[in-house]
């Protein structure tokens, strides 16, 4: 089975680095970034199966980042994270972004892995 390669983007460095470490311990090739700009630069050097994006990151929303990433990597699947608003508000935003996969913070790592596997068909 091919290893899942994932990019995590969240402006909370402690959260995103810990999440990447926990995924790595479970055999997932996890990379992380704290800004949309840095995430876009990483696309030049690494192809990701999945990008896990916080909806609210400074300078560029997660939805805007997804749109820009899709132009570079049309095979990448997306999961959104949010710590704000109600689930119904987020469903509407996720639908607008073209993603039905989302999780509310704090993220349960097993739920995240389950959604990743659903996305890549494992």
pLDDT over 60 at 86, yes or no: no
Q: Is pLDDT larger for residue 84 or for residue 41? A: 41
Topology of 5-120 in CATH? Rossmann fold (3.40.50)
| Model confidence, pTM | 0.88
Q: If you average pLDDT over residues 51-71, what whole number do you get?
A: 91
Q: Is pLDDT larger for residue 95 or for residue 68? A: 68
DSSP string for the chain: -PPPEEEEE-S-HHHHHHHHHHHHHTT-EEEEESSHHHHHHHTTT---SEEEEES--SSS-HHHHHHHHHHH-TT-EEEEEE-SS-HHHHHHHHHHHT---EEESSPPHHHHHHHHHHHHT-
């Amino acid at each position: 089975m091919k290893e899942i390669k994932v990019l995590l983007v969240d402006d909370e460095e402690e959260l995103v680095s810990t999440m990447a470490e926990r995924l790595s311990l479970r055999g997932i090739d996890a990379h992380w970034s704290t800004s949309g700009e840095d995430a876009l630069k990483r696309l030049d050097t690494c192809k990701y199966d999945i990008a896990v994006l916080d909806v609210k990151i400074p300078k560029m929303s997660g939805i805007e980042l997804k749109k820009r990433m899709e132009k570079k990597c049309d095979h990448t699947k997306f999961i959104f994270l949010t710590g704000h608003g109600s689930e119904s508000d987020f469903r509407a935003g996720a639908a607008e972004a073209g993603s039905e996969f989302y999780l509310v913070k704090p993220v349960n790592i097993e739920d995240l892995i389950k959604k990743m596997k659903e996305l890549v068909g494992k």
